[in-house]
Amino acid sequence: MTSLVIAEHDNAQLKGATLNTVAAAAKIGGDVHVLVAGGGAKAVADEAAGIAGVSKVLLADAPHLADGLAENVAAQVLAIAKDYSHILFPATASGKNVAPRVAAKLDVAQISDISAVDSADTFERPIYAGNAIATVQSADPVKVITVRTTAFDAAAAQGGTAQVETVAAVADSGLSSFVGRDLAKSDRPELAGARAVVSGGRGLGSAENFKILDPLADKLGAALGASRAAVDAGYAPNDWQVGQTGKIVAPQLYVAVGISGAIQHLAGMKDSKVIVAINKDAEAPIFGVADYGLVGDLFTAVPELVKAL
Amino acid sequence: MKVLVPVKRVVDYNVKVRVKSDQTGVDIANVKMSMNPFDEIAVEEATRLKEKGTASEVVAVSCGVQQCQETLRTAMAIGADRGILVQTDADLQPLAVAKLLKALVDKEQPQLVILGKQAIDDDANQTGQMLAALLDWPQATFANKVEVADGKVTVTREVDGGLETVSLKLPAIVTTDLRLNEPRYVTLPNIMKAKKKTLDTVTPQDLGVDPAPRLKTLKVTEPPARKAGIKVPDVATLADKLKNEAKVV
């Protein structure tokens, strides 16, 4: 029994989600290998070789693998899939994009967004926006899985002594091509992996008002998040969205400001260790999950809180 | 160009579902059902492509029980030209749906299939990608903008950290994200018109697909409940609690 973890990276650095996925693979048992498919990604493979618990790193390096196109990456995974009992992807935008393509080609069901490993063939996963947890068993010969990264502690990034082995890159599918990327630049920690998150909702009222959260986030070393309502209203960028269909976070501290707490939003943050809600509506559902709730006007409460901390 | 749009009948997104006490699933008897919100966005996008003259026909498809006809009628009220129901009482998982859809694609020969990125009941986020794999077509998931021109579809996708744009050769698969468009409200005259549109029914057997589930659900449980919290009277108390009680700052 050997598991293959598909590394998430930007060709220069390994992304943190890979470490959580390795941890999930370790819980399954057996050897853990990591595939780095990319372009000019040797440094990433070396980094992956250092992860504790990884016994081998496979590097497939080619220009047409650089941008993570699903057609090419899935073909690369399939080229080596026969050696593995479990193939795990982080449940990130790229993992979710590629994993089902691999599963369908292998004619196996995919198990999405697992939150726990019960045994080598039995896993837990949230359904209905996290309002229920399903325990599912797979009889397929290969288990293709995406891992909810916030549900597993990251494997240690150092201490491993795996060998890096180069594997032949598959040919370019020619079906799709990469045009461009527009990534938001930010000095703040990455939302999904942040220790603290400060999120704003429709209560902020405008994109301008969202800036009131900056000093609080700075003080806490927090990432900024947003509810769907705030994103749809244009107050915050798309990739800040926390919820069932956005990012799933589980930080030590989650501060919800001007967020009512629709079930779709709660699905993305209710596993946070400590939840703080600031809202002027005492009946808002967010108070049902908050450890500490403050009923009041956020425009006075947030600056006061910055001062008090 | 023909566009195929698969739609799913799911528990309405406003309903807070309850887990059954025997842990066999969630209780969906007598619960309001609606079209999956991402699928509404897919139907809307296909309809807009038709209104622009890019698409010639929009075909809505649903797989499941007989009541999925209502979901197809809604799709036709938004703008789909006709509907196909793959009727079965089987518990359909994404791989089975992808196989059923592949069989329909082989028959209908669309150039573009637009699906929702995920259904809000199983939260799987698999069917579009699986269909693309089975057909060996390119895919663009989590679409935020779709442009069809010169035998290609250019799609801007929502990814972690921002947006990226890919170009696919047609035929292709696109799955919708929330911000692709705002679906129109269905009007009463359009609901009446939708009743006159064609709705064909086929079975998995007609399509030569075995829809048996591959994953076995052993049990469905409530998520662990959070301990009830407290309301603090002022900011000073809040700061104090965070520092000294929760010790998170």
CATH number of the domain where residue A304 is located: 3.40.50.1220
- Is the pLDDT reported for residue B228 higher than 90? no
Residue that is written with structure tokens 């859809």 in the block: B101
Q: What is the pLDDT of residue B53?
A: 97
Angle at B125 between CA B124 and CA B128, to 5 degrees: 130
Name the helix (H) or strand (E) containing B33. Answer: strand B33-35
Show the domain range for A240.
Answer: 196-308
> Closest Cα of chain A to B15: distance in Å?
9
Is position A91 within any domain?
A: yes
Of residues A192 and B196, the one with the higher pLDDT is B196
pLDDT tens track for B149-158 = 999 999 999 9
- Is the pLDDT reported for residue A184 higher than 90? no
> Closest Cα of chain B to A33: distance in Å?
24
Q: What is the CATH number of the domain that holds A155?
A: 3.40.50.620
- Reference B210, options B105, B130, B90, B122; nearest CA is B90
Instruction: Check CB contact under 8 Å for A176 and B167.
Output: yes
Same domain, A216 and A150: no
> Closest Cα of chain A to B201: distance in Å?
26
Angle at A282 between CA A280 and CA A283, to 5 degrees: 125
Average pLDDT over residues A157-181: 96
Is position A180 within any domain?
A: no
Give the whole-angstrom CA distance, residue B18 versus residue A29: 34
Average pLDDT over residues A100-110: 98
Name the helix (H) or strand (E) containing B152. Answer: strand B152-159
**Pair of tokens at residue A191:** 């939302």
Give the end of a domain, one of A150, A166, A182: A166
pTM assigned to the model? 0.95
Give me the number of domains chain A comprises: 2
Nearest to B215 among A109, A130, A228 (CB): A109
Q: Which of B91, B137, B249 to mutate to test the interface with A (most CBs of A within 10 A)?
A: B249
Q: Which of B129, B136, B158 to mutate to test the interface with A (most CBs of A within 10 A)?
A: B129
Same domain, A154 and A220: no
Is position A186 within any domain?
A: no
Is position A291 within any domain?
A: yes
Concatenated DSSP letters of B93-135:
-HHHHHHHHHHHHHHH--SEEEEES--TTT----HHHHHHHHH
Q: What is the pLDDT of residue B226?
A: 86
For the purposes of burial, counting CB atoms within 10 Å of the CB of B228, is it exposed (0-12), middle (13-18) or buried (19 or more)?
A: exposed
Beta strands in chain A (DSSP E): 2-6, 31-38, 56-61, 86-90, 110-114, 116-119, 122-127, 132-138, 143-147, 163-166, 176-183, 196-200, 223-226, 253-257, 274-279, 292-295
- Is the pLDDT reported for residue A186 higher than 90? no
Instruction: Check CB contact under 8 Å for B248 and A289.
Output: no
Radius of gyration of chain A (CA): 20
User: Chain A partners of B38 at a C-beta cutoff of 8 Å?
Assistant: 245
Give the end of a domain, one of A166, A183, A216: A166
> Closest Cα of chain B to A231: distance in Å?
9
A260 annotated as ligand-binding: yes
- What are chain B's domains? 2-245 (3.40.50.620)
pLDDT tens track for B172-195 = 999 999 999 999 999 999 999 999
Q: What is the pLDDT of residue B194?
A: 98
Give the whole-angstrom CA distance, residue A156 versus residue A158: 5
Give the end of a domain, one of A146, A166, A186: A166
Is position A141 within any domain?
A: yes
Confidence label for B83 from pLDDT (cuts 50, 70 and 90): very high
- Reference A20, options A149, A157, A208, A177; nearest CA is A149
Give the whole-angstrom CA distance, residue A270 versus residue A265: 9
Which A residues 140-179 touch B at CB under 8 Å?
Answer: 140, 173-179
A169 annotated as ligand-binding: no
pLDDT tens track for A245-265 = 999 999 999 999 999 999 999
For the purposes of burial, counting CB atoms within 10 Å of the CB of A39, is it exposed (0-12), middle (13-18) or buried (19 or more)?
A: middle
pLDDT tens track for A295-307 = 999 999 999 999 9
Nearest to B223 among A126, A192, A291 (CB): A126
Same domain, A35 and A145: yes
User: Chain B partners of A136 at a C-beta cutoff of 8 Å?
Assistant: 215-218
Is position A179 within any domain?
A: no
The answer to whether the beta carbons of residues A253 and A247 sit under 8 Å apart is: no
A234 annotated as ligand-binding: no
Asked if A287 is an interface residue toward chain B (Cβ–Cβ < 8 A), one would say yes
